[in-house]
Amino acid sequence: MTLSTSSANRKPVFVLVGGTGDLALRMLWPSLAMLDQDGFLDKDLRIISVAREAVDRPAFVERVRAAVQKRIGADLEATTLDQFLPRLSHIALDASDPQWGAKLKAELGEVEALNVVYFLSVSPSLFKPICEHLESAGLSKAPNRVIIEKPLGRDLASSKVINDSVAHAFDEARTFRIDHYLGKETVQNLLALRFANTVFEPLWNAQSIDHVQVTVSETVGTGDRLGYYDDYGALRDMVQNHLLQLVCLLAMEPPSNFNADALRDEKVKVLRSLKPITADTVRDVTARGQYGPGFAEGKQVAGYEAEKGSPSNTETYVAIKAEIANWRWAGTPFYLRTGKTLPSRTTEVVIQFRPVPHSIFGSAAQPNRLVIRLQPDEDIKLTVMNKAPGLSADGMQLQPLDLSLSLQSAFDGNGDKPPRRRIAYERLILDALNGNNAAFVRRDEVEAAWAWVDGISAAWAEAYPKPQIYPAGTNGPMSAYMLLDRDHRVWND
């Protein structure tokens, strides 16, 4: 697969704005290098880094080389960087410079002969001036496209401002909003698992599924992101995008085809079906927490307020009982939780099936469970009941049996090497280069998610203003366990 263009004569260019930043060095340059190693980049693709930092090309290239080698390690082939690094150039530009667009245009050359993908790996506050520079210099015309990173606002109103500023230069079809979770192999496999297997899809509803859990736990605190985090909190930082995107893939109706708009139409329907959370219900269906003093990752943690140096009502943990008001999911709650300084770094989805209508084995028959783990190790595990081997004077004995459905299990024990675990950005960059926006977030998705989250924020402000303190290194506040205990359920800890 190579770079697609709207004109066979146009030369492909990838412009990474923020090319010396942390995300670029940790994720984006390694992703581009591995796409090149695997033959996915057009042989004529130029890659231009843009950043405020003035650094000459040899020093910049060495910085990229070190970043790629650190991230990829043994999977990096000996000749990859010799092929990849000559593609690169760097130009120092400050978005406050009125000549930003003209200077980039001079670097690009004959613009009408190019097909350019811009990746804005910068603060969203710079989206508007950068898009204005691109538009005024004639650099935003079709087929050129733009990739933008989160956060896309901190509420619905600010999100609309950001989206409006980008839309002035790039129409919706050429705007690629990244949620890197959508590039993860196991997340993408949700679509295959659901819609390519009749063994699952007929059971994927409230009649067969008791509840769903979505967990994103982190062992670290806020670190050097405290300034940003204190303005956003766990609800805006994680729930509005990552967790709700997972809910959409889990709960959406089967799309009519694999077309990007068909997929995203169904995701939007899920978001618009989420039952609003109000001040009257917020304490019953949400839990707010903030980490206090404790031990996490083997180190003493002072606590969030001590780290900040002042009192704060910012939540570092949130759990939500989300209900989807439609025929497929009525009566089946989706429990969401995410938090910092927790005991393990885990991202997983638990599909808890209902028990059999009548068990001839008594309480020994446990309900089936499907666990989809995204990190630290990607895995899909189905728990079924099985006869325990051997004889028993008490008759047939049952035991749970875990069946691994992951790709890794297909290679275990046969001596073959499984495929390399890709960086999520590899898939997303490749799709953007080829104009495929199925794994990107459409504007109405972003705004529907913000509308629901804004309702929770408003309810908290009115009826639940102070988060409950939990010791760093523990599983979060007691209110999160009470959230499920009220429904006679437990978290998958």
Structure-token pair, residue 144: 């050129």
Report DSSP letters for 204-220, one per residue. -STTTEEEEEEEEE-SS
**242 carries an active-site annotation:** yes
Structure-token pair, residue 396: 């047939």
8 Å CB contact between 304 and 222: yes
Structure-token pair, residue 273: 């079906």
Cα dist. 19→15, 22, 97, 114, 179 in Å? 9, 9, 18, 20, 19
Give the whole-angstrom CA distance, residue 97 versus residue 110.
Answer: 22
Burial class from Cβ neighbours inside 10 Å (0-12, 13-18, 19+) for residue 316 reads buried
The H or E element spanning position 69 is helix 57-72
Nearest to 342 by CA among 358, 364, 318, 363: 318
Cα dist. 419→258, 405, 422, 423 in Å? 24, 15, 9, 12
Give the whole-angstrom CA distance, residue 406 versus residue 385.
Answer: 19
Catalytic one among 168, 180, 242, 358?
A: 242
8 Å CB contact between 221 and 472: yes
Catalytic residue ranges:
242
